[in-house]
Structure 1
């Protein structure tokens, strides 16, 4: 006897057979009971969730000889013939193959004729988003005011591609992905009816692979049952589908945590020898770390993801990573997954991504230890004290007569022993923003640090708004903030000038307000000028503080010498008796 694929043999024939779409079933059944059936429906949702099946069941329900009924009897001649596709008045059209205006005009001509075999004509148009614009226009008037004996049911996986004029003329029902629990229960029922024995974790893994599509789950079950000979185990499902067990992901995650690049490369090579694809491995690994992050940050997070079959195992693994580490790993994997779509050698990018994770120092973990936090706080405090002392000395120098251009008076107590200019060195080829000293003073402020953290989002949003502006703007990097101005330094002057154009600058400043939470203005300069300014400022401070101490009292002189040596080292301090 000819074998029928499981997804065909177990296709729902009544509303009660459908899995996971109770919100739609109840609405349609109530409409039939109350005789409030609409003339046009739009069924949208992911593949394999029951859109076309629901359309055929609805066609049987309104045409059942014992109805219209909330459930078709599937015993009368009308129900049997509609199930077999033998009723000319219930027409299923594939819009992918009949997408032109001529086919729709032909349909529009036939609509006006009364049904000959059943109570109501039903037109089921599958993948309706494939119709051309002209075909939609031809369908529009008929869809709005069809004859009373006609019902249209449109099915699509991409409702956003339908004209709003079409959508507004239909009652829309959104089909959801079937939950893991409902899929597993349905698969278990089918296995018992088909004489297949399967482990529960194997059925759960099949359900996870289907991504919420019941048809995909049945196709995988059909394929694996043919291979295994009657009993399906978790290991067999993983091997046949090219998946990776969570235990292997745990080993890979441990190797990444330890920075063991050799073990990571050996595991990748093992995956490839087993026939795994690099892009699928990358996708699954990204999901694995995403689940670790959810487990770490959200209580009872195992309920938020259908991939976590063993919450205790995930919790134990999540304890070995800090939140910052997991965020960093996910960012790296996501970046290389995007690049992998266009790569000729995806395995190489997969290896590079994992090696990059291994090579980044685990500084976040060390910082999370109590002793490390104390040491870090002490170091920061010391640096702040040194910075305050430096600023105080600079203020004293300015008050004692040192001007901005580097000239100075002949103060008897403090004289510069250096001959180079104390003014910041800048290029004369590009404009320098006013108040540059204030930008230099704010280059390490908390406000600027927060802007740096959000800069990748700013660039991504500029790219989404206008990719040509992003191509010029990405050459710059933020270097400081002053009030409502963000200073961006460019390596290339052409890129800077193009970014400064009014139209481009307006787009960027609009993105600033959207992503940073307040309006900012864009100020630009060349990166070389910025670096020269920073270096010149530092040299000026160092040279002016190479002090000639002429105090006769050694008790008063020694603290100045010690502080100067501590700040700048013995090489830059000149002591003259």
Structure 2
């Protein structure tokens, strides 16, 4: 049986057949029984939860020849005609393709005429949020003064896009996601009727993938059944839907737990060879670590439906600290957002996995020997983390090459040696084209040292997090380099940022990156601001020299000073140039 035939065969024909919406069904049935049917309804909720189906069942219930009845008989001419779509008085409109004012005007012109075949004219407008503003205005006029023989049923997944004037004239019903238990029960019922043998884990897996949509669950069931024939297994369901098996989850988590990058790369390659997409693997991995975190923070009351082997899963949860899991999930979520626009999602997935291998070094309280392996020998762990950071840095360089406009493909081969051997601090290869060195500006630190304690510097430091956030929104890769630096001083038109890492500083100073940062700083501070950079050690040395000289002011005798004029002797001017205006004090000779 094809998917369409299977879905149609199991599409609810009465309120009683619907799954998971008892509160809505009871309300509608009470209204029909008491003859208090409204002229307009708004059905909203996630996809596949029964909004359009409920609208059609309601249309049959109010027009049933044996009613109006709480349940349509599905035997009379009216019920069978509405089910088949032959009754002209029950109209279903897809607002996604009929969203203009002309279509709504046509409805407005026709509603004045009485129904010809059944008791009520029923207009079902699906995806109503897609209507234009003009169409909403035309619909509003009809909803304000509706004829007594017309019922409007609006269905949408995004009610927040509807005008408040439309919502206020409708009875609103919020359809919820169908629970896993209700979905599994209905899927087992379908399998029994269709003569399909299904494993309980496979049905639970299909129900979880549908994310609360009964329609999606039936679609996935048909897809898996077509693959497995008369028997549905968990492995078959995982293969067909492109998910990751429990063993693959465990192997990846084990490698991440032990910070074993060498084991991660073959695992990712095997997933790729098996046809698993990088974005789907990333999504599944986030769910996996989320379940580990839930099990760790609420071991007694937590219910993680994705768990297949509970003991094995609990052991893996004990191997991680909650702090590390939080950081790992945050990191994976960040990379998942970047993957939507990446030309090489697999590379980004590999970088994300290597990144979370380097997160934290804390012991996972109560963990087994695997979880504390990194913490048991600090010297070895430190060397291992350093090695991993270097590998991540190499991958980040490759990623930066791929992101650049047309520059990455040409420079990949030529820069291979530079990627394996760290370049000298004074001259590192650039990422953009052919290995040319990035020019680094020379900054005189004395004016910035003098301004380090100024109110302007304090204001910059308070707003720096906002600058980083806006840079991240503008371009995530620029934020990755800029976050290594910190603002140490600010003059009227320039902000000095000190970096710990030479590569981060050089990459930040690239013209394209500098332009983005300076544009963001102008937006944040309200005036044009230039970016200046230095190494943190240089700044610390300059600040310490200034501290040593503080209090040792040079006293000069104004022998040739004419106090009545603004001019000063040449040697005084030279002293001011050498030590700065603030450190030179001229005293009168008593």
* Common fold: TM-score over 0.5: yes
Query: Residue 341 in 1 paired to residue 340 in 2?
Result: yes
Matches of 2:27 and 2:159, distance apart in 1: 20
Query: Residue 505 in 1 paired to residue 503 in 2?
Result: no
Matches of 2:145 and 2:66, distance apart in 1: 28
1:31-42 correspondence runs (5 A): 31-42=31-42
Q: Which has the higher contact order (CA 8 A, sep 6+)?
A: 1
Query: Residue 536 in 1 paired to residue 554 in 2?
Result: no
Deviation, 1:536, is 3.3
SS in 1 for 2:363: helix
Structure 1 counterpart of 2:186: 186
Query: Residue 176 in 1 paired to residue 196 in 2?
Result: no
Q: CA RMSD in A?
A: 4.0
Matched-pair contact (CA < 8 Å) for 2:60–2:78? yes
Query: Residue 329 in 1 paired to residue 349 in 2?
Result: no
Matches of 1:156 and 1:542, distance apart in 2: 70
Deviation, 1:162, is 1.9
Structure 1 counterpart of 2:384: none
Matches of 2:4 and 2:168, distance apart in 1: 39
Matched-pair contact (CA < 8 Å) for 2:104–2:135? yes
Matches of 2:361 and 2:3, distance apart in 1: 59
1:380-529 correspondence runs (5 A): 427=445, 432-433=450-451, 435=453, 455=465, 459-460=468-469, 477-478=485-486, 489=497, 504-505=524-525, 527-528=533-534
Structure 2 counterpart of 1:563: none
- Rate the CA distance shift 1:139–1:431 in 2: closer, same or farther, 3 A: farther
Matches of 2:515 and 2:244, distance apart in 1: 49
Structure 2 counterpart of 1:231: 231
- Rate the CA distance shift 1:496–1:93 in 2: closer, same or farther, 3 A: closer
SS in 2 for 1:280: helix
Matches of 1:301 and 1:280, distance apart in 2: 29
Matches of 2:135 and 2:24, distance apart in 1: 28
Matched-pair contact (CA < 8 Å) for 2:14–2:71? yes
Matched-pair contact (CA < 8 Å) for 2:43–2:155? yes
Runs of 5+ unmatched residues, structure 1: 376-424, 441-447, 482-486, 508-522, 545-577
Deviation, 1:83, is 1.2
Deviations 1:253-273 (Å, cap 9, x if unpaired)?
Answer: 001111222221111111111
SS in 2 for 1:364: coil
Structure 2 counterpart of 1:352: 351
Deviation, 1:307, is 2.5
Deviations 1:549-572 (Å, cap 9, x if unpaired)?
Answer: xxxxxxxxxxxxxxxxxxxxxxxx
- Rate the CA distance shift 1:238–1:90 in 2: closer, same or farther, 3 A: same
Matches of 1:367 and 1:433, distance apart in 2: 46
Matches of 1:237 and 1:361, distance apart in 2: 33
Deviations 1:422-444 (Å, cap 9, x if unpaired)?
Answer: xxx9635669546369x99xxxx
Matches of 2:332 and 2:521, distance apart in 1: 34
Matches of 2:486 and 2:32, distance apart in 1: 63
Matches of 1:280 and 1:500, distance apart in 2: 36
Structure 1 counterpart of 2:120: 120
SS in 2 for 1:5: helix
- Rate the CA distance shift 1:151–1:430 in 2: closer, same or farther, 3 A: same
Matches of 2:259 and 2:343, distance apart in 1: 27
Structure 2 counterpart of 1:408: none
Deviation, 1:23, is 2.0
Matched-pair contact (CA < 8 Å) for 2:324–2:359? no
Matches of 1:291 and 1:3, distance apart in 2: 32
Matches of 2:496 and 2:73, distance apart in 1: 71
Deviations 1:512-533 (Å, cap 9, x if unpaired)?
Answer: xxxxxxxxxxx99955497655
Matches of 1:366 and 1:69, distance apart in 2: 62
1:119-268 correspondence runs (5 A): 119-268=119-268
Query: Residue 8 in 1 paired to residue 28 in 2?
Result: no
Matches of 1:340 and 1:494, distance apart in 2: 24
SS in 1 for 2:38: coil
Matched-pair contact (CA < 8 Å) for 2:93–2:123? yes
Matched-pair contact (CA < 8 Å) for 2:18–2:50? yes
Matched-pair contact (CA < 8 Å) for 1:333–1:353? yes
Which residue among 336, 355, 363 is the counterpart of 1:365?
A: 363
Structure 2 counterpart of 1:573: none
Matches of 1:233 and 1:171, distance apart in 2: 43
